[in-house]
Chain A
Amino acid sequence: MKSIISFELYKIFRRPRTYIAFGAIAALIIVIQFGLKIDGKSYSDFLMKDINDTLTVDGNVLNGYLICYILLQLLLVHVPLLVALIAADMLSGEANLGTLRLLFSTPFTRTQWVLGKFIAASIYTIVLLIWLAFLALFVSMWVFGTDDLFLMKSNYVVLIEKNDVLWRYVGAFVFASFSLLTVTSLGFLMSSIANNSIGPIVGTMSAIVFFTILSTLNIPLFSIIKPYLFTTHMNNWKEFFDIQVNDNNEAITGSILNVAKIKTSLMVLSAHIVLFVSAAVLITKKKDILS
Chain B
Amino acid sequence: MSVIQVNNVSKHFGSLKAVDGLSFEVQAGQVYGFLGQNGSGKSTTIRMLLSLIHPTSGSIEIFGHTIQSNRNKVLEEIGAIIERPDLYPYLSAKEHLQLFAKLRSKKITPATIEETLIKVGLQDRAKDKVQTFSLGMKQRLGIGIALLHNPSLIILDEPTNGLDPQGISDIRNLIQRLAKEEGKTILVSSHILSEIEQMASHILILHKGKKLAEGPIQTLLDPNKMIVHLKTTNDPQALQIILSGSFSNYLLKRQEGIYLSIPHFEIPLLNEFLVNAGVGLINVESKNSLEDYFLQLTSNTN
Contact = CB atoms under 8 A, between A and B. Distances in A.
A101 B146 CA distance: 12
B260 interface: no
Interface in B61-107: 71-76, 78, 80, 82-84, 86-91, 95, 99-100, 102-105
Contacts of B104: 106-107
Contacts of A290: 47, 53
Nearest to A11: B88
A126 B105 CA distance: 29
A105 B156 CA distance: 13
Given A11-B99, A289-B52, A107 B105 contact: yes
Interface in B40-57: 47, 50-54
Contact of B52 (A3, A11, A104): A104
A102 B54 contact: no
Contacts of B74: 107
Contacts of A107: 71-76, 103-105
Chain A binding surface SS class: loop
Given A102-B145, A105-B82, A288-B53, A15 B90 contact: yes
B72 A108 contact: yes
B103 A109 contact: no
B131 to A, nearest CB: 11
A99 B88 contact: yes
B139 to A, nearest CB: 13
A7 B99 contact: yes
Interface residues of B, number: 31
A106 B105 CA distance: 10
B100 to A, nearest CB: 8
Nearest to B103: A106
A105 B102 CA distance: 14
Contact of A99 (B54, B86, B95, B105): B86
Contacts of A104: 50-52
Contacts of B84: 98
Nearest to A98: B86
Given A101-B82, A109-B71, A3 B102 contact: yes
Interface in A219-233: none
A14 B90 contact: yes
Contacts of A99: 86-88
Interface string B8-48: 00000000000000000000000000000000000000010
Interface in A11-27: 11, 14-16
Nearest to A4: B103
Contacts of B47: 101, 288-290
A102 B53 CA distance: 13
A104 B50 CA distance: 8
B54 A288 contact: yes
A21 B50 CA distance: 36
Given A97-B86, A98-B86, A14 B76 contact: no
B103 A7 contact: yes
Interface string B135-173: 000000000010000000000000000000000000000
B87 A105 contact: no
A14 to B, nearest CB: 6
A98 B52 CA distance: 12
B96 to A, nearest CB: 10
Interface string A82-114: 000000000000000111011011111100000
Contacts of B91: 11, 14
Given A14-B95, A288-B52, A102 B86 contact: yes
Nearest first, the 10 A-B pairs at minimum CB distance are A98-B86, A289-B52, A105-B50, A107-B72, A107-B76, A107-B75, A288-B53, A3-B102, A106-B103, A101-B82
Given A102-B86, A106-B100, A289-B53, 11 more contacts: A97-B88, A97-B89, A101-B52, A105-B52, A105-B75, A105-B80, A107-B74, A107-B103, A288-B53, A289-B52, A290-B53
21 contacts: A11-B99, A97-B86, A97-B88, A98-B84, A101-B86, A102-B82, A102-B86, A104-B51, A104-B52, A105-B52, A105-B80, A106-B104, A107-B72, A107-B103, A108-B72, A108-B103, A109-B71, A286-B54, A288-B47, A288-B53, A289-B52
